[in-house]
Amino acid sequence: MNILQVAADLQKQFFNVLRIAICLVMVWIGGLKGFQYEADGIVPFVANSPLMSFFYQHANDRVLTEEGKEVAAYTLHKNPEGKTVKQNVDWHTQNGTYLFSFGLGIVICAIGILVFLGIWSPKIGLLGAILTVGMSLVTLTFLLTTPEVYVPNLGGDFPTPNFGFPYLSGAGRLVLKDVIMLAGGLLLVSDGASRMLKDKQKGK
């Protein structure tokens, strides 16, 4: 059996694997948005985004550190993953951090489910794919607006050799992966549109 022909014949099934994969990522990550640690983690992205910062009460607040340096208020209220500080949680509650994250999680889960339903309905799947593309484009703007996506220059025993652009931090590497989500969404947009045209030609 020709392996190339087998791979070509499985194209439809591979598109469905892509739908399942996107749904898994969306529902899992979207579901985590309802938890405190995940909501805390997205604060730098949202607070620095011209498209999303208005969801927070204190996104543009600036405060002075003990050293007299002016910084964004949220930087003084970070809860490291696995640690909870009540004072920080209270600040984020007032900021609207958790309410926004919960709403965002619902939206992300819904997009994932729409993509998954595209296995059976090209119209619903097309909508989900378009929303996936849109969400990925918004996420990728964080590479331009969020300082935390690049390694900071914190000093040390000798000059820091790698900081700033293009040295992605852990947050930056996470954001960059949305390029793959964007590409997958575009493929599903094309597949959904193709299926709808075929159905139209068949008179469905």
How much is the pTM? 0.91
Sequence spans of domains, the chain:
17-203
The tokens for 119 are: 């296995």
Closest by CA to 30, choosing from 179, 181, 192, 189, is 181
State the DSSP H helix or E strand holding residue 108, giving kind and residue range, or none if neither.
helix 97-117
Burial 16-33 (b: 16+ CB within 10 A, else e): bebbebbbebbbeebeeb
CB-based contact 86:77 (threshold 8 Å): no
The tokens for 102 are: 């919960």
From first to last of its 204 residues, the chain has per-residue pLDDT tens of 689 888 888 899 999 999 999 999 999 999 999 999 999 999 999 999 999 999 999 999 999 888 888 999 999 999 888 888 999 999 999 999 999 999 999 999 999 999 999 999 999 999 999 999 999 999 999 999 999 999 988 887 887 888 899 999 999 999 999 999 999 999 999 999 999 999 888 875
